[in-house]
Amino acid sequence: MRRTALLASAALLTGLLPWATARAADDPPPTPVDRFEGEVPFASQPAEGIFTWGSDADDPPALRFAARADAPEGGKVLDGTYDISGYGGFTHDFAAGEPAHDWSAHEGVRFWWDGHDSGGKIAFEIKDGGANGEASELWTAAFTDDFTGWKQIRIPFADFAYRTDYQPVGGIDHVLGLKEMWGYAVTLPVGVKGDFAMDAVELYGRADQSLRASVTTDAAVHPVREGATAQVKVVLATTGSAPVEEPVTVHYETGGGTAEPGRDYTPVSGTLTFPAGSASGTARTVAVPTRRDKAAEPAETVPLKLTVTGAKAPAETPQVVIDAHGLPYLDTRLPVRKRVADLLSRMSLAEKAGQMTQAERGAVGAGSDIAAYGLGSLLSGGGSTPTPNTPAAWAKMIDGFQLRAQATRFQIPLVYGVDAVHGHNNLAGATIMPHNIGIGASRDPQLAEDTGSVTAAEVRATGIPWDFAPCLCVTRDERWGRSYESFGEDPALVDSMETMIQGLQGRADGRDLKRDDKVLATAKHFVGDGGTAYGSSTTGTYTIDQGVTTVTRQQLADIHLAPYRTAVRRGIGTVMPSYSSLDITGDGRGAVKMHARGDMINGELKGRMGFDGFVISDWNAIDQLPGDYAAHVRTAVNAGVDMMMVPYGYKDFAGALVDEVKAGRVSQRRIDDAVSRILTEKFALGLFEHPYADTSGAAAIGSPAHRAVARKAAAESQVLLKNDGNVLPLRKSQKVYVAGSNADDLGNQTGGWTLTWQGSSGNGTSGTTILQGLRRAGGDVTYSRDASAPTGGHDVGVVVVGETPYAEGVGDVGNGHDLELSAADKAAVDRVCAAMKCAVLIVSGRPQLVGDRLAGIDALVASWLPGTEGDGVADVLYGARPFTGQLPVTWPRSGAQLPINVGDASYDPQFPYGWGLTTRTSVPKGGAATLRVLAAAAATAERAHAGRTGRELVTRARLLVQEKAAGHLTEAVAKPFADADHLLLTGRYGKAVEKLAEAYRAA
């Protein structure tokens, strides 16, 4: 290795390091990793170096090598400052071009840390195996800054746990081998400004066999029916599968649980021996007989205590659980309300608090806290996936968590939730649909239902019964980073797309929730999240997301509450409040966070709307409420939030809730209401009878049938804004020049909430890019991403430009984003459109400002975020399907117009809400007289409640008007045109055609 400065001799180390003489005589000398004297530069892979990282541009810390008189070792230390809102830290990676390091001779890693007694947790992780430091397996530990001044932190390798929330390559072998190490990383505390100093990272101590050998059991929990015999398998495992060099003994003994020895089970004890030379994977079995009696009982536990010599013992004591039996809530013949009432009557306050608590999977590790705290729910946040990220691994993981719940008194199953907002988007290889903005553009309620059905089937097939979707926000300002999660700016459009709820849940009465292809759905974010004012956010660097929505009561009812009334009628199972605040003019309360608005959650949603499901908070949302933590808890619970998403703070929440009830600040009645709602949905999902994954539908995940639905959705979501000279559809005989940043990038095409929370550019999932779709359609295609290849000899250009992925407030305009095309995209458009006829496709979550280039573009398409099936985009480009999409939001001329929405008093956009040209072979012809006839017929259809006929008549009128108005849209045309689409969606067909006639006269 090049790092000769670090590989000093043992004698030199003894002279340099004052603690070296304290080591045991037979320990190997410490091996330095970092002295921070400048011998390791600030650099990144493939070179060796120290580098910073973070969730956004502000989050990486600032680092330097600083001379310190009090440096524990040498003259310099690594110090830095940080102010992290998401995540951030630094890494030392070893050179990728050289062999990995062997740390297996040592007991652990130690370093000096300059403490500030902040009480914060600081994560330290090491990198094992793989190709290099950025393609390795991550193992993590943590220490607490509960001291002042320099302290040497020692972390034995035995204390490192496999990191469950993120693995750069999906994990390798889940074994900390220590023979191929690639460095370490430090994750700094979030949410507070701070500084740190660190010195002398080194390996210490001598490894013993317990580092290389361990004893495990086949499961931590072994449920059995009363009277049956549990079989607990005890397994020897070694690093690298090498046989053990010394004998390993395991003494076992039952006792100490809630089951009574001699009455509920037959006590057992003894010793198992794994002789020297035993191979990794050698197993022994301990049998624990249980006894039958006639009493109805809750579940009872029988711990099997294991004392191990010569190897690392299991992290926890395995338990045999005698299943609950004979109690009314277990009787499937009883109505759900009686089962709920019986179970509720038996539960303690702590058990009820547990049911109201939802934790992140990454926070509970192997899951022992599930039983310890009686947790009611787990979730996977964006990008929180098992390793490997496969359907089988998801099902195995969730089954493991459900098994933990069987160790509780009443064996109440977990309800596991994910943000599957456009398909099972956390799962690699899943079918990814267009985001909701594209579904809204399709104007196809049946398609919305079909996409929901595919999503539900793929989610449930991995063992997950709950989806945090659909988003029913009404987006009113395209500067919002969540715009693409909305079906559109018109509540009537959002209402029409709520068929997706039936796709997810099945019939409104909930009878289909037990099916293996349906999930519990969530209407979010209640209420007004799409109406926040630009500049009103107080969350980090966000500009609009999580801000304030200021409305009159009438505006609130007409725009933002309306979709929830429909959702309740459709039987929505859960509702999630918004992070945002609501300010109702005239009520005297000012801006109040939605998680604190009992008038909206208890009063409007549960009271006047009659919602009978349960309310789940957003991620750590109660932390944004005023007051101390106890106030956060009682405020949200009393406002009507039934289950709290407290990903890493679940212990604090459950404890605080119990305290608030005991103090009388939260009533027992409120707790019972919340828990009854949660249990009702668990019974409806059939989880008590079938808690484990039904993977019979797993083969259909990403199947041709499912992708066909996504392909159709991608095609129907495309909105043709301009088509001078009928450039589209393309012809197979044409030579097509394809360019642009989003032509061949599946990550950009799918957008945020794809594999990770923010999504990422690149082809990280399976699907077809738009370029691949064009080629698969049989086109004669030349591709040059930046349009640098010669343009001569081509008939038409297709330039695919737009946004890169983002999610939530990270994507807010003003937070590192705008509505302009990038310089590279503008250059590509200019080069191609100057050389030939061109069609420009904008792949984005919201409109982009293209007015300055519109005159030079022959055809313009709003492609939105079409998902994994680029073939669907190719279908409309080549005419296999006609363009039929319509704008779900207004397309502005300039940023100065924002916010701009249908119904505004002043309305002069680039393209109005509802606009969408078609490439159908037969476009209606006619003029004012034709429109008068259509208006009369539409009015008749309206009176006869003939919806399908009425919609067809309005569509004919719209296409006729677009034929005349294309190319010279003025305010006099745009305003009545947009109003007509709103009238159509509200069933006023005659008035819609009258508005279109007004637009026709003005064109």
- N residues, the chain: 1003
Nearest to 963 by CA among 900, 919, 903: 919
* DSSP secondary structure string for all residues of 284-327: EEEEEEB---S--B--EEEEEEEEEESSBPPSS--EEEEPPBS-
Contact 675, 355 (CB under 8 A): yes
Amino acid letter for position 28: P
What number of other Cβ atoms are within 10 A of residue 597's Cβ? 25
Contact 463, 398 (CB under 8 A): yes
- Residue 800's beta-bridge partner residues? 841
Residues 113, 123: Cα–Cα separation, whole Å: 13
Cis ω on the peptide bond leading into residue 892 (within 30° of 0)? no
Nearest to 240 by CA among 162, 295, 299, 175: 175
**Catalytic member of 808, 825, 858, 869:** 808
DSSP 8-state symbol, 130: S
Cis ω on the peptide bond leading into residue 899 (within 30° of 0)? yes
For residue 194, what are the contacts with CB-CB under 8 A and spacing of at least 6?
81, 82, 83, 116, 118, 120, 188
For residue 603, what are the contacts with CB-CB under 8 A and spacing of at least 6?
none
Residues 835, 592: Cα–Cα separation, whole Å: 55
Q: 678 is written with which tokens?
A: 């949660």
CB-based burial label for 131 (10 Å; 0-12, 13-18, 19+): middle
For residue 312, what are the contacts with CB-CB under 8 A and spacing of at least 6?
158, 210, 211, 213, 214, 215
Q: Which residue has the tokens 């709307």?
A: 609
What are the DSSP E strand ranges found in 345-471?
Answer: 357-360, 377-380, 415-418, 466-467
CB-based burial label for 523 (10 Å; 0-12, 13-18, 19+): buried
Contact 190, 84 (CB under 8 A): yes
Q: 668-684 and 650-662 helices cross at what angle (nearest 10)?
A: 130
For residue 763, what are the contacts with CB-CB under 8 A and spacing of at least 6?
745, 746, 747, 769
Residues 582, 591: Cα–Cα separation, whole Å: 5
Report the DSSP pairing between strands 796-802 and 735-739: parallel
Q: 843 is written with which tokens?
A: 């792949």
Q: Which residue has the tokens 């310099």?
A: 76
Nearest to 73 by CA among 32, 117, 125: 32
Active site residue 490: no
Active site residue 852: no
What are the DSSP E strand ranges found in 541-607?
Answer: 548-551, 574-577, 581-584, 592-593
**How far, in whole angstroms, is CA 975 from its chain's centroid?**
38
CA dihedral sign, ordered 399, 405, 411, 414: negative
Residues 175, 312: Cα–Cα separation, whole Å: 14
CA dihedral sign, ordered 884, 889, 890, 894: negative
What are the DSSP E strand ranges found in 460-589?
Answer: 466-467, 522-526, 548-551, 574-577, 581-584
Cis ω on the peptide bond leading into residue 527 (within 30° of 0)? yes
**Catalytic member of 180, 485, 498, 618:** 618
CA angle 18, 24, 30 (to 5 degrees): 55
How far lies 86's CA from each of 383, 525, 540, in Å?
Answer: 14, 21, 9
Q: Tell me which residues are annotated as active site.
A: 618, 808
